[in-house]
Amino acid sequence: MSYALPIDRIIGSEAAAVLVLQIASALEYHDRLPAQTAFRLACERVADCDPHFIAAPGQTWVARPELAPCLLVSRFAVKRRDSYNTVAIVVPVDGPLAGVESEIELVDLALGYQLEAWLPIDPDLAREALA
């Protein structure tokens, strides 16, 4: 069971709406999806806090409670994404590896962690996450 906060509780409803619209627009343009399909997919992925769609600088991700005992890093901040959008460059914020920059595959981020905070939410950062 996940106790992740809904995205609108993390970044606010207005910022969440802007993020959904930006992702929908990118999906419609880049993937040539019909507008309604792109919007539905964007809503689903943002609601799930899918890092493939939303991982961006300024975010803090925390280990899912059920996996925390198994993971070396329990909380980290995202610095940037790689140019192929498959890896997030992160810095642990606590524990023995605090401050040591490393990489995490977005699929591993999706499976082991949940979004805890995204401050500040900046539309430009959200656009960069989609680029």
Of all residues in the chain, the percent with pLDDT exceeding 70 is 88
pLDDT of residue 1: 41
Q: Would you put residue 12 in left (φ > 0), alpha (ψ -120 to 50) or beta?
A: left
What are the tens digits of pLDDT across the range 56-98?
999 999 999 998 888 888 999 999 998 888 999 999 998 888 8
pLDDT of residue 85: 84
What is the arrangement of strands in the sheet containing 75-81, beginning at the earlier edge strand? 102-105, 87-92, 75-81, 59-63, 113-118
pLDDT of residue 95: 82
Res. 122: pLDDT tops 90: no
pTM check: above 0.95 = no
The domain locations on the chain are 7-130
The amino acid at residue 76 is: F
